[in-house]
Chain A
C-alpha cells in the first residue's frame, strides 16, 4: 500500500431490472493493490456491481473509470481485469489444462510459457496433476479453484472474485484465503472480492464495503466495521448482536426497559430514543444482584470455543456468549461495560428506513405478509 493511487472509480452507478432498483447511485473507489470486499446479504447487488465492472452489464447511469479513463462502454474482452464467476463458468467440453490455457492462448503466449503457467496455477490451487481431467469429473470446490487458477494465470491488473470460496470446506477455505492474500501481495493484483460471509470479509480485506439493497451501508477497515457499526443493519450483519430499543436519558446514560446502563456516548440530547447494540461476548454474566439486571438462563448451546446462552432479563431475551457455562434455569445477573455499549440513532430518513431490521428480515423471507 505504498502508492495510494486510485485504480477504479465507480461514479453514480444506477441499475434497475424491470423497474426494480438494484444499484442506486453507487459510488466506489478502488485503490491500486487494495483488497476490497463487498459484503452483503443475498440479492443486495454484489454480483451486479462486479458485472458492471467486468463489462457484462451496462449501468443505466453513471460511469466506470479505470485509471481515470472512462471504460463504461468498453467491451468485456478488452478490459484489463479478470473475473472468477460465482458459478465457476468453466468450459465443460475442455479439459482442465485447456480451461486454464484459454486466456493465455488468446493473448498469444508460447506453448512453454503456457505449460509452465498451468503447472504453476494448478499447484497454487492445490490441484497438481489434474491437467487432463474433465470439468464434470471435479467436485464443486475443485471447480471453484480451477476457476481461480484460470483467472490468475492471465495476471490481470484487477481480479474480480464473486464468492470464490463458497463451495469449499472450512479448512480448505482458510487455506485458500491465505493463498489469495499471498497472491495479492506477490503479484500486486488488486482484488475486488465478493462474499456474504462476514468472517471471511473481516479476515481478508483491507477495506470492507457493507451493502444492502443497492446502497452502501458502511465502508471501512474490518475493525471499524466490527467495532463501530454505523447502523443497526451493519451491526446485525457483522456477527450476532443484541439490538434493543433504548432511551438516551442524558449523556453517558442509556435506559433499556427501565434499567439504566452507563455508557460512553454523548451528544444525543435528553430522552432521545436510540438503538443500542451489545455484542453477545460483551455481556457479563454474574450471580444475581451483581450486575445491572437479574434474569434466568433459558437455553444453552455449546458452539465450539464457548457457550451461547439466552438469558431472560428485564423483559428482553439477551444473547450472551461466555466460556463458562450456566445451566438452564439458573438465576443470574447481566451487566455490560460502558465502552461495549454502542449507541446508534434510530433510522429516520427514508433511506435509513429502507435498511431497518424488519426490512432485512422481510427480504430474506420474501412474500410473507408483514406483521402488525
Chain B
C-alpha cells in the first residue's frame, strides 16, 4: 500500500515538473523548429533549410541592430554598475534614516512604468536641446539600470562580514586598499548579479529605447517591432534561436566552471587533503567568461561589413519608413547612384510615427505614411511641398492612383505613392464551393452559415466596420449613428460564424488552412500564394477600401535635395521591380505594367493582367479611402466597436 501511494506521488511530481518544463519551453522550441523551416509561413513545414540563418547574417541592418543592442547593453551595464556601486558605498555610510530614504528614492524608478520613464527622459533631452542619437539611448539605459545595480548590491553591503573594512584599516590598509581587497570580494556576487540584471534589462528594453533613440539607431527590439507591419520574417526566428542558444551556453559554461570547483573541493576533502577555499574565484571567473562572450559577440558584429559605412559626399538622408518596407539592397544602390548616405529608421504603425514627426524628436528627411495620415499631417502643417521638378520619374505614377490621391492630398502637392492595395477576400479554392466564388462575389459570403467557423475577420475597427458597411451599401467613412447601429448589428450577427479576428496572422492561418476565407490586403496575397497554391483573392462587388502608402517630406527635413533624389529613385524601373519582388505589394508604376512576374502561380503573367495587384476599373470605381473622422467620429466608432466586441 505504502510503496504504491508513494510511487503514485512520485509519478504525479514528475508529471507536474514535466508539464511545467513543457509549457515553459514549448514556445521557444516551436520557434527554434520554425527557424529551420524552408517555408516563410509558420503554418506549414516544407523541409529543413538554413536559409533564414544565411539571410540573418547577410542582413546588415539586423546585424547592426544586434551590435547596437550588445554594445549599448554592455556599456550601460558597466557604467551603471560602477555608478551603482559607488552610490552604495555612499549610502552605506549614511545613517539608517537617510539610507532608507535614498533606498525609497531608488525604488521609485523601478516601479515606474517604462513608458513614463521613456517619455520623461525623451522630454528632458528635448528640453535641453540634446538631439536624440546613440548617446541618448545609452544614457537612458544607464539611467534605468542604476537602480537595479543598487538594489542587488546594497543588501551585500548590509550583510558585509561585520567590520571587515574597519579591521583592514586597523591593520594599516588605506581606505582604497581596504575597499578593493576586503569589501569588493565580499560584495562581488551582488555586483555580478547587478551587472547581469542590467545587461538583460538593457537587452530586453523596448519602450525606453523607442522614445530616446535618434534617427537610424535601432536595437533588436525596436527593429523587430518596426517589422511587424509586414509580418515577422523567419530570420527573426533564426536570430531568437541564436540568442537563446548563446544564453544557454553561457549558463552551462558558468555552471560547469562552478561545478568543477565544487568537485575539486569535494575530492580534496575526500582524499583527506586540506580543503582549499576558492569561493571568491568562481563568480569572478563566471563574470570573466560572460564578459568575454559578450565582447566577442559585440566585436564580431562590429566587424561584419555593414552598409552605411561609406559616407557619400552629398550628405546623409534620413529615411523614416515602415519596417522592412523596401528592398534593403536599394539603399546601397541609391547610395552608389547618387552619392548620398542613407540612414534608415523604422516604425510599425502610422500612429507610432506621428508623434515623432509632430514633436520633432528626430529629424527625418523623408517619411512613408498611409493616406489618412498624410491627410492629417497636411492639415497640421507638418509636411513640405514636393518639388516635382526634381522628381522626373513621377511621370510613371499610375493614373488610377492619382485619382484616389484627390481624397487625401488634393492636387498632389505633398506626397508620392510608394505602394498601394485593396482589401478583399482571400479564400482557399480547394475548400470552398466553386459556385460561391464565381465572377461576382459579395461580402455577404462572410455571413454564409455554410462556412461557419471557417471565416477570419479583421481585428481592427475601421477595416472590420468597412466590411459590414460595404455589404449594407454605406460609406466606410460614415458618421451616421443609425448606419453605425446597423453596421454593428451586422457584425454581431456574424460573430458565431467567425473562426478568428486576426490582422497580421490572418495570412499564416490561411496558408496553414485553419480557415477557408479571410479578409486581407492584396499585398499579402502573392506572398501567401507562394506557400499555398490553392489560395485565391477576390475583391467583392460592393467595393472596398483602397489604401496608399506615400513618401512625404516632413518640415524637419534638412536634406531636401536628398529627399527628392530618394523619391525619384524609388520610381526608377529597377527600384520598382526590386520593391515588387521583395514585397509583392502593388507598386503604382506604369513601367511595371508589362513586367512579367515569373513566380505567379497561374504561370508567367504581366503584372497589368494580375487582378490582385491591378484591380479592374469598375471595381476601383466602387472603392473608398480611409478618412480621418476627427475625435468625435473616432469616439463613436470605438464605442460601437466595444459593444460589438463585448457581445
Contact = CB atoms under 8 A, between A and B. Distances in A.
A89 interface: yes
B172 A75 contact: no
Contact of A134 (B163, B164, B168, B277): B277
Nearest to B164: A89
Q: Which of B166, B168, B177 has the most CB of A within 10 A?
A: B166
Interface string A121-133: 0000000000011
Given A103-B172, A106-B172, A106-B177, A89 B167 contact: yes
Chain A interface: which size bin? Answer: 20 to 34
B161 interface: yes
Interface residues of B, number: 26
Nearest to A104: B171
Central interface residue in A56, A82, A102, by most chain B CB within 10 Å: A102
A3 interface: no
B182 to A, nearest CB: 5
Interface in B138-193: 161-164, 166-175, 177-178, 181-182, 185-186
B171 A82 contact: yes
Contacts of A55: 169
Nearest to A160: B170
B611 interface: no
A135 B161 CA distance: 11
Contacts of B171: 77, 82, 102-103, 106, 150-151, 154
Given A76-B166, A102-B168, A132 B161 contact: no
A351 to B, nearest CB: 30
- Most A CB atoms within 10 A — which of B170, B174, B276, B277? B170
B473 interface: no
B168 A91 contact: yes
A87 B167 CA distance: 10
Contacts of B173: 77, 102, 106
A87 B279 contact: no
B172 A77 contact: yes
A56 B166 contact: yes
Nearest to B277: A134
A95 interface: yes
B169 A76 contact: yes
B616 interface: no
B274 A91 contact: no
B275 A85 contact: no
A93 interface: yes
Nearest to B281: A93
Interface in B267-304: 274-277, 279-280
B162 A82 contact: no
A151 B173 CA distance: 13
A304 to B, nearest CB: 35
A73 to B, nearest CB: 15
Contact of A77 (B174, B182, B276, B280): B174
A92 B186 contact: yes
A89 B161 contact: yes
A348 interface: no
Contact of B280 (A83, A87, A93): A93
A271 B495 CA distance: 107
Interface in A55-96: 55-56, 75-77, 82-83, 85, 87-93, 95
A274 to B, nearest CB: 45
A132 B274 contact: yes
B164 A90 contact: yes
B163 A85 contact: yes
Given A55-B169, A106-B171, 14 more contacts: A54-B170, A77-B169, A77-B170, A77-B173, A82-B171, A85-B167, A88-B162, A90-B167, A91-B167, A92-B161, A95-B277, A103-B172, A135-B277, A150-B171
Interface of A: 54-56, 75-77, 82-83, 85, 87-93, 95, 102-103, 106-107, 132-137, 150-151, 154
Interface of B: 161-164, 166-175, 177-178, 181-182, 185-186, 274-277, 279-280
